[in-house]
Structure 1
Amino acid sequence: MSAASRKMVWGRGPITLRDRPHEASVMSTLSQALTLTSLLESDATWRLLRADNAPIIVAILHTHLGGEERRLPSEEFYDRIEHDLEELRAHGFDLPLSAQGYCGEWRRAGFLTRRPDEESRGETFELSPAAHGALRMLDQLSAPRQTVTESRLASIAGQLAQLAVDSDPDTVRRLEQLYAQRDRLDARIEAINAGEADTIDPDRAIERVRDILSQAADIPTEFARVRAEFEALNADLRSRIVESDDSQRAVLDEVFRGVDLIADSDAGRSFAAFSTLVLDPEVGEAFDDDIRHVLDRDFADGLSSADRRFLRRFIGTLKEGSGEIHQVITAFARGLRRYVQSQDYQRDRVLRRHIRDALAAGIPAAARTKPYHPTELDLELSAVALGSGGAIRLHDPAELDAARPIRRHLAAVADLDRLRALARDTEIDFAELTANVNAALDDRGSCTVAEVLERFPATQGVASVVGLISLAASQGVRTDDVEIVRWPGPDGAGRLAEVPAYRFSGRVA
């Protein structure tokens, strides 16, 4: 080995990836493994797919929030889930929590989004973007669609060709490509006029419709994701206003000048372009006409009723979702402007400064004083105690009204016979039972409980039977047999039961 070689090995000289060709792939694998490990802990979609009760969670969320109803009031949502839980428990599923408990867990895990109801003082639940993605993935697993199709390739090729024309800076080439498109259109027009062009095969038409449905099914997920982006953007802008000092007033100054930072963001401009296209009357009318014509074709009979209903309502769904996002953007922009103009951010800055000072002072104090050490200080709270609004019960004067006239019962001399009857209703008449047993023993040398009841019916119903068995257990003899005892019920119908047999052999007291 040469000196240069020894220096390279022992001196740890420069080694390139060509010296170790597998190094690039190893680093790529390690990087992906670390990224996916972090994603495993932070991504709610993955968290839902690997949950212990994932099939139950997905089934409940898909049933109530994954169809045409995308948002439900909390109380109605609780009632529906409680009914589902009862049915699932009846089939052997171990579900210990209540509907409110599971909704709380799913909200904290990022599967549900809870928002105030704009039409009432309650709250609503809807699927989070992560839950939309998980339901979409599982839907594709349970009902896989063929993705390598002629329609999918034609769609990609058409978009790619259009992008090539629109992005070409050479006007000569752009004109050549446009002329070629016009020639192809002219050829198709001539063929149709000559009666030579046939319509598309029904199987291929169904394939294209299902490809369109597959792409359109992602729209609700996109709306939820866009709304989550605007919520995160609004929170980030408020945080920047509070955390910035007087030397970093960029966000604050722009809000004071009336700049709509929500609408002027990248997400806001992208959504504005989408919304303009959706709300265009000509586009909407043409879209509805195309859907109506497609559904009138013979091949549309191969579509399910749910698919046809989805296509008919698709443009309306787009407009409804777009309008909702517009309301969110407007509300966030107004709230941000009001937050700045009312000087509320100054109060939050002071509060943030006090919290940071307290945290900073707590670090050196932690070395001498434990967090649970009593301070012997009393703090009088100025605020009222918090409580649930559901615990408040309004006073209803009608509840104090007597439903029937009040009857007066005047005091009178007690009736001895009625008092005796009342005592018999509340206690077992052992004196009567003892006399019955002794009378039966006078007729025969021994008897059982059933034989006593045959001669002396149970005047107190089942209480007489219980009293006789108690007497037999204490003063009779247990046998290895069983016997049938009978007594009249409160409704007059006969009752019977199988009890251990006891025999009376001597008088009872």
Structure 2
Amino acid sequence: MTTVSAALRLQRLVADDPALALLRAEHAPIIVALLSRLLGGEVRRRPAEEFVDLVDADLDALRPHFELPQTGKAYAAAWRAAGWLVRRPAAEARAETVELSPAALRAIRVFEQLEQPRATATESRLMTIRDQVQRLAIETDPDGARRREALERERAAIDAQIRAIGEGRFEPLDAARTKERVAEILRLAEDVPSDFQRVRFRFDELNHELMASLLDADESQRTVLEDIFRGVDLIEQTDEGLTFAAFSVLVLDAERSEAFEADIASLLERDLGDAMSMSERRFLRTFLRELKLHSHEIHGVLAEFARGLRRYVQSQDFQRDRALQRSIRAALATALRAAEHVKPFHASGVELPLTSVELSSIGALTAHDPSEFAIDEHVVAHEPGLADYEQLKALARDTEIDFEELTGVVNARLRGAEALTVAQLLADWPATQGVASVVGLMTLAMQHGSVSGDETETLVWPGVDGTTRSAVVRSHRFVERIPT
């Protein structure tokens, strides 16, 4: 590659890459500080309205030091248009959420590395490289004898360590090396959640690419359609899908997960001095759980994408879109041939009114349904008449408990008895209002009688539909007449 081609390629990258655009933005420090605090920590996705409110609150604190004339909503819209925020529909509610795009994550990582540069050649990093090279050399060696010899050397070294431990000749790792290895582990672990977001973003791109390939598919590309109709999840068969599937198997493996959590728990129980801060301990404690949540979410996204592809191909929308695309291409081809004879500014005599409404989201549109405004029945006029007292009384009785009737029944039954429970009353008096009468009697007993703490009774009453019903409640007792 020549210097000229490399310079042109990098110039195009500088002009098109959203991460570089964020690094050279006018308020880059403020934007990175806001985005990393609100969406780059433990919380990586928020409801859009909550995010805007939090941005407004931070802007109020920033304005004494910086000139920030716009509102949080305006800045959030600008960041989304620049490719630093990704807006998605929330699965559990009719709302939207926002999260950082892969470009924003890359820009934030650059700021973090510049602010807190890490050592480039630590002992733990060199050990990791050495162990990986050694394992790769063993696993790729086609010579069985050499591979056996290498494994025996590894086993001999492990046996020597076991003997040393049995003889008491071992020392725990010193504080300096412990701190260095913990820092390296945290550095590797902190990149994993961002990797999940990049995988999710890449799957979105793959979904759109597959949709476009379906529309462009011709007779020579019928395998795409045939695979979908056979139920093959094409997204999971991409390089990204296969890599994520292999990784999720490791995350969701019960035995390995238990061992990993046990190692983290034992590490956190030890006194490591200042090797880890409280926030780093909390991050490690919840690390595996967060990985499982992200893995489960992306599996759901993959399944939804695959189902969406199949539904799209099997629906009439696919055929209509194919026909529309062919019509558009035919019109463009005709226009290209006509351009040789007709100037672009030549009047066509066709008027095409254009809308002036700015559309921010397709969800803001509501389809006009003329049937909603059609009147299929004639309007019937009802002449007012005289209200009937008995009908009004029956209506009131259907909507309210008749406490006057219940009071009279209770007082009449108490004339020949010292006490009376609700169950005894219902045994020889039918509840005229069904369960409403039962509720009314229990209410009167609580107000003018007593309720047992341990004793229970069974209430039996006929419902308004004629079906007998029963309930076991605490004993409600009347001991005196109810004042009227």
TM-score by length of 2: 0.70
CA deviation vs aligned residue, 1:146-174 (integer Å, no higher than 9, x gap)? 23111111111011111111111111000
Give the C-alpha shift of residue 253 in structure 1: 1.1
Give the C-alpha shift of residue 343 in structure 1: 3.7
> Which residue is equivalent to 2:233?
260
> Which residue is equivalent to 2:118?
145
Letter aligned with residue 353 of structure 1: R
> Which residue is equivalent to 1:14?
none
Percent of residue pairs identical: 50
2:186 aligned with 1:183: no
> Which residue is equivalent to 1:406?
none
CA deviation vs aligned residue, 1:161-190 (integer Å, no higher than 9, x gap)? 111111111110000000000000011111
> Which residue is equivalent to 2:194?
221
Contact 2:87 2:96 in 1 (8 A): yes
Q: Structure 1: where are the runs of 5+ without partners?
A: 1-26, 391-509
> Which residue is equivalent to 1:87?
61
SS of the residue aligned with 1:147? coil
CA separation in 2, counterparts of 1:56 and 1:220?
A: 23
Which runs of structure 2 are paired with 1:289-328 in the superposition (5 Å)?
A: 289-328=262-301
> Which residue is equivalent to 1:30?
4
Radius of gyration: which is bigger? 1
> Which residue is equivalent to 1:74?
48
2:208 aligned with 1:196: no
SS of the residue aligned with 2:236? coil
Letter aligned with residue 296 of structure 1: E
Change (3 A) 1:178 1:47: same
Contact 1:294 1:300 in 2 (8 A): no
Give the counterpart of 1:58 among 32, 37, 41: 32
SS of the residue aligned with 1:113? strand
SS of the residue aligned with 2:182? helix
Contact 1:111 1:127 in 2 (8 A): yes
Which runs of structure 2 are paired with 1:110-149 in the superposition (5 Å)?
A: 110-149=83-122
CA separation in 2, counterparts of 1:339 and 1:79?
A: 37
CA separation in 2, counterparts of 1:380 and 1:62?
A: 41
Contact 1:133 1:221 in 2 (8 A): no
Letter aligned with residue 8 of structure 2: L
- Say how many residue pairs are matched: 360
Letter aligned with residue 31 of structure 2: I
CA separation in 1, counterparts of 2:41 and 2:125?
A: 25
Give the C-alpha shift of residue 365 in structure 1: 5.3
SS of the residue aligned with 1:302? coil
> Which residue is equivalent to 1:395?
none
Which runs of structure 2 are paired with 1:318-397 in the superposition (5 Å)?
A: 318-363=291-336, 368=342, 370=344, 375=349, 377=351, 388=364
CA separation in 1, counterparts of 2:215 and 2:345?
A: 29
CA separation in 2, counterparts of 1:310 and 1:246?
A: 53
Give the C-alpha shift of residue 371 in structure 1: 6.1
Change (3 A) 1:353 1:79: same
Give the C-alpha shift of residue 345 in structure 1: 1.4
SS of the residue aligned with 1:90? coil
CA deviation vs aligned residue, 1:40-79 (integer Å, no higher than 9, x gap)? 1222211111111111110110110011110011111111
Q: Structure 2: where are the runs of 5+ without partners?
A: 367-484
Letter aligned with residue 135 of structure 1: I
Letter aligned with residue 150 of structure 1: E
Letter aligned with residue 13 of structure 2: L
Change (3 A) 1:363 1:389: closer
CA separation in 2, counterparts of 1:138 and 1:380?
A: 45
SS of the residue aligned with 2:235? coil
Give the C-alpha shift of residue 301 in structure 1: 4.0
Give the counterpart of 1:240 among 192, 213, 232: 213
Which runs of structure 2 are paired with 1:487-502 in the superposition (5 Å)?
A: none
CA separation in 2, counterparts of 1:356 and 1:87?
A: 54
CA separation in 2, counterparts of 1:66 and 1:226?
A: 16
Change (3 A) 1:376 1:333: closer
Contact 2:235 2:302 in 1 (8 A): yes
TM-score by length of 1: 0.67
Letter aligned with residue 314 of structure 1: F
SS of the residue aligned with 1:45? helix
Change (3 A) 1:165 1:362: same
Give the C-alpha shift of residue 360 in structure 1: 3.0
Contact 1:45 1:131 in 2 (8 A): yes
Letter aligned with residue 16 of structure 2: S
> Which residue is equivalent to 1:469?
none
CA separation in 1, counterparts of 2:352 and 2:112?
A: 58
Change (3 A) 1:353 1:210: same
Change (3 A) 1:388 1:333: closer
Give the C-alpha shift of residue 96 in structure 1: 2.7
Contact 2:182 2:275 in 1 (8 A): no
Give the C-alpha shift of residue 234 in structure 1: 1.1
Aligned CA RMSD, in angstroms, stands at: 2.3
CA separation in 2, counterparts of 1:293 and 1:55?
A: 39
Give the C-alpha shift of residue 379 in structure 1: 6.8
> Which residue is equivalent to 2:394?
none
Contact 2:225 2:313 in 1 (8 A): yes
CA separation in 1, counterparts of 2:323 and 2:226?
A: 19
Contact 2:18 2:84 in 1 (8 A): yes
Letter aligned with residue 182 of structure 1: R
Moved more, 364-373 or 236-245: 364-373
CA deviation vs aligned residue, 1:69-96 (integer Å, no higher than 9, x gap)? 10011111111111222222222x2223
Give the C-alpha shift of residue 372 in structure 1: 9.7
